[in-house]
Chains A and B, each alone.
Chain A
């Protein structure tokens, strides 16, 4: 199956600072990527849809000025958590739809996830 990679796997930052998480599709082009967050023992919550070359679409209740998304190329989307606070500590996961390659089809593939801890 297709491969989606995230970096970093985990990060610790001080309250008030910003942190960037990268999501890359390694063997296919992804015009659309998605960002989720997951708290311990809970399910994944969709945050936003990242569109290559255009603005991201945010789910209701997600602050677009706090969670900045940039989809600069067909293989890279970044999520920047601005002015992070302890309540932003969570597991952030990206996904991409393998729509352009026959082998990937319409399946959604997820990255390994990134743990963010704000202290």
Chain B
């Protein structure tokens, strides 16, 4: 399973755009990239998933370059409630059947 590397922490202010980059140099051909958000004492919440290029949904965008060795989660106009830990995971959910190995994640703190 591909290992991921993310910054341990990031700080931002309300209304700013936040970009969190994740490195996954050993990503396999069949691997998807998935981002989760976790608040204290809650289970992780699915944010976005992608395979290549760009994916956008109502809460975030995911940018994946052609070599797929990294990905960037973009949160537009963050608010205080976006303060959380963000995890980047890669895996072939078909073969691993959903076994996810979490790294340390990125603690995002949004200030007023």
Contacts and interface: CB of A to CB of B under 8 A. Distances in A.
Interface of A is mostly: strand
Interface residues of B, number: 22
B93 A97 contact: yes
B108 to A, nearest CB: 15
A36 B43 CA distance: 10
Q: Give the interface size class of chain A.
A: 20 to 34
A113 B43 contact: yes
Nearest to A114: B43
A25 to B, nearest CB: 12
Given A95-B100, A107-B34, 8 more contacts: A1-B46, A32-B97, A49-B97, A97-B93, A97-B97, A106-B32, A106-B93, A108-B100
Interface of A: 1, 4, 6, 32, 34, 36, 43-46, 49, 91, 93-97, 106-113, 115
